[in-house]
Chain A
């Protein structure tokens, strides 16, 4: 269980999160959605302790503010939006950093398995700098997977935090990454993902938190959250709503209100 209680955070002295409380359960995918600048990534960063924030965050019942970084690293892994790497590390060396940080340092073949899971099995020896944007993002996902390889550990479920995991991926790899996240949750792990794509979120997430202007505007299943009035309020667009046979609601943006 991830319990975020009453989080306030400021960037450059401007308050951007105005008291958000949110819980995520292990075994589920939680998608954090909302328009640009609403505070989705800031919420994730505040929940992860990357930026100073008021409020309380508990992971598996323990306050993360007091936890040791090395203990947290065994329970959660983070896929960043910024995938820059300094120096000419190979893809395998980067995945190995994840492996060494988690509980699976001694597991043989884990690097290869993690790379295979993200479709980069043949990229182990490549220098990271020679990869495309999408390949870089998937290498980092392999690193995160190698860190929390088994979804359930001795201290409870393990967690994947993903900051826009499909941002620079093509359609096929978007689905591949979302399926990985789904499978991780189905095996008992927790997944929290900041998402832009409402359709992918609706297809793969169990729960959705919708942020507008630093406040939680709606929370629930995608079908409960994604209503036409909310989307119009959030994006200033009319949105055509429909229902896909297996994956629930899907959307098509219509005329925006610039006219």
Chain B
């Protein structure tokens, strides 16, 4: 088997890493089962496995825990993790830089500003309107804030049908500073409860997962996950520069537009339902590039798997460590992600030195 595979392989062209693919699928499955079978309600694997074979099945309470609490939370974890990781790959490929993340195309700044304004100014809404929009105000404001910021940056950086990626980056920094200032004004205006909401929104959580929220976020994320593989060859070619990508037959402006707005839609939807969860979009693609090379045709699907698996595991940890309370998941991804990332980088540096 190995001999056959290696005789077919061509030097320098990395084969599809089926072992890694299988491992990542197992990771997602294992994380999903763990996520469904652990929690404060005490509904464990044993009960779930026995239920189909026993006469009474699950109790009503267990059904509610499984279908209305744990399952939407699992699906949201998978979707948000995949969305953040795939957005990272898209933007890093577009900016030709492994450090790019959704923050730099204005999604982060815009979404954060939208959320903060909704939290603080939401209290000024007339009561009937607040009742109508209710809990959906913050997610919608975050999504549209991120989308509006991306659109603004894209317009600012596009002239004569060409988008200048460097201008977009600079304008993104300016917009980030502006959003930071307005956020400061909002924080100054906020009362104590709002301050607490603001802080926790920034740290991210999947605790608000409901089927209702998923119904809005999931289709967008799935759409982007479906579009992304079609950009893979274009992003590969962009590694050689925009002019060469065009000479290799790619419609560069279309690749740029789809990558920017794909990332904006997926991240916007993810941030809207889960708040600020950092690090997934940078760490996941980087680890996979080390493991299997930079080819976006392989990187995109594998990043979706690893992002989904890792975020579900992080969510599991976030609600297990201080159970029955919960740590915000953004704290965990940074607390464990950052040292691990540093370790990988230092090890890689050591390997380069020989």
Residues of A within 8 A of B (CB): 45, 48-50, 52, 69-74, 76-78, 80, 82, 84-94, 96-98, 100-101, 111-112, 124-126, 140, 147
Contact = CB atoms under 8 A, between A and B. Distances in A.
A96 B252 CA distance: 19
A147 B237 CA distance: 13
B252 to A, nearest CB: 8
A112 to B, nearest CB: 8
Contacts of A52: 160
Interface residues of B, number: 29
Interface string B185-225: 00000000000000000000000000000000000000000
B96 interface: yes
B248 A98 contact: yes
24 contacts: A69-B246, A69-B249, A69-B252, A70-B249, A72-B247, A78-B247, A80-B243, A84-B240, A87-B96, A87-B239, A87-B289, A88-B289, A88-B294, A89-B236, A89-B239, A89-B295, A90-B13, A90-B14, A97-B237, A98-B248, A101-B248, A111-B10, A124-B10, A125-B11
Given A76-B247, A90-B12, 9 more contacts: A49-B246, A74-B249, A80-B241, A85-B240, A87-B98, A87-B294, A97-B248, A112-B11, A140-B240
Interface of B: 10-14, 96-98, 160, 233, 236-241, 243-244, 246-252, 289, 293-295
A97 B97 contact: no
A80 B239 CA distance: 13
A49 B12 CA distance: 32
Contacts of A69: 246-247, 249-252
A84 B241 contact: yes
Query: Which residue of B239, B293, B295 has the most chain A CB atoms within 10 A of its CB atom?
Result: B239
- 7 closest Cβ contacts across the A-B interface? A92-B12, A73-B249, A124-B12, A87-B294, A86-B96, A70-B249, A101-B248
A126 B12 CA distance: 7
Contact of A88 (B160, B241, B293): B293
Contacts of A94: 240
A87 B89 CA distance: 12
A97 B240 contact: yes
Given A52-B160, A90-B293, A73 B13 contact: no
A125 B12 contact: yes
A82 B246 contact: no
B251 A92 contact: no
A50 B248 CA distance: 13
A92 B289 contact: no
B240 to A, nearest CB: 6
Contacts of A45: 243
Given A80-B244, A85-B240, A92 B13 contact: yes
Given A69-B251, A80-B241, A93 B10 contact: no
Given A70-B249, A87-B98, A111-B12, A93 B243 contact: no
Given A78-B244, A88-B294, A72 B14 contact: no
B233 A91 contact: no
